[in-house]
Amino acid sequence: MNEQQLAHNIANLLERVRLSAEKSQRCADDILLLAVSKTRPEQDIRSAHKCGLREFGESYLQEALDKIEALQDLDLVWHFIGPIQSNKTRPIASNFHWVHSVDRAKIARRLSEQRPPGLPPLQVCLQVNISAEQSKSGVAPEQLPQLAQEVAQLPRLQLRGLMAIPAATQDSLQQRRAFAQLRREFEQLQLQLPGLDTLSMGMSGDMESAIAEGATILRIGSAMFGPRNR
């Protein structure tokens, strides 16, 4: 993508974050704009970095590993946000700073065991299948407290919060309802685990609703880099 266009999109997104935060009486600095760079070439990430972005989200493991390798000269923070197969946990544990999509104990245990000793703990969000969610990924809300307790005990993981991908809808009331449900699950868990500080929710089509319901990480792809082909 053209560097000028990208700079324009990023400035625009940061302004939207600022306005929505203000509307909800929140501090815009508490909201991270995570650049979802899946399917995008290395050069787009370099351009986004020039615009001041450091944190990038990827969903496809092999593609992500190639980019992480190619971009080692930059000081980037990598977030894995895609589905996790249990035979792929080792490269995730070794190459990423964050994982947003942990939804079962077996995956969490493997990530903890495989996190290299020289690195800080892997920062983890649990993906929750809130009622509106179409996909099968994500822990059911009924099983969330138990999974959270278990993950919180793992020595090489730091449990930070929750993530969800609600069904896409243009209806902002429906968007708010889904995000409010995730926020309530989050606040419930915070009673047991007061260190939780992260709500990863909101994408290009629903970021304002997510901010209004307390999102601390927005995962933004197409509104930044343009439409995806895949």
Ligand X SMILES: *Cc1c(COP(=O)(O)O)cnc(C)c1O
Return the number of the residue (120 or 227) whose C-beta is nearest ligand X.
Answer: 227
**144 vs 165, which CB is nearer to ligand X?**
165
Q: Alpha-carbon distance 191 to 137, whole Å?
A: 25
* Rounded Cα gap, residues 214 and 218, in angstroms: 10
81 or 182: whose CB is closer to ligand X? 81
- Minimum CB separation of residue 117 from ligand X in Å reads 29
Please, are residues 202 and 221 in contact by the beta-carbon 8 Å criterion? no
Closest residue to bound ligand X by CB? 221
Helix (H, G, I), strand (E, B) or coil at 90: helix
Cβ proximity to ligand X, 21 vs 223, nearer residue: 223
User: Phi, psi at residue 15, to the nearest 5°?
Assistant: -70, -40
Sorted by sequence, the CB contacts under 8 Å of residue 37 that are 6+ apart come out as 44, 45, 48, 56, 57, 58, 67, 221, 225
Q: Three-class SS of residue 78?
A: strand
| CB of 227 vs ligand X, minimal distance in Å | 8
Binding site for ligand X (CB under 6 A): 36, 38, 59, 81, 165, 203-205, 219-223
Q: Minimal distance in Å, beta carbon 80 to ligand X? A: 10
Tokens of 203: 């994408």
Neighbouring CB atoms inside 10 A of 171's CB total 10
N- to C-terminal Cα distance for the chain? 16
Distance of closest approach, residue 192 Cβ to ligand X, in angstroms: 26
Residue placing its CB nearer to ligand X in the complex, 38 or 115: 38
- In whole angstroms, how close is the CB of 19 to ligand X at the nearest point? 18
Smallest distance from ligand X to CB 64, Å: 12
Q: Which is nearer to ligand X, 28 or 203 (CB)?
A: 203
Q: Do residues 220 and 35 touch, judged by C-beta distance below 8 A?
A: yes
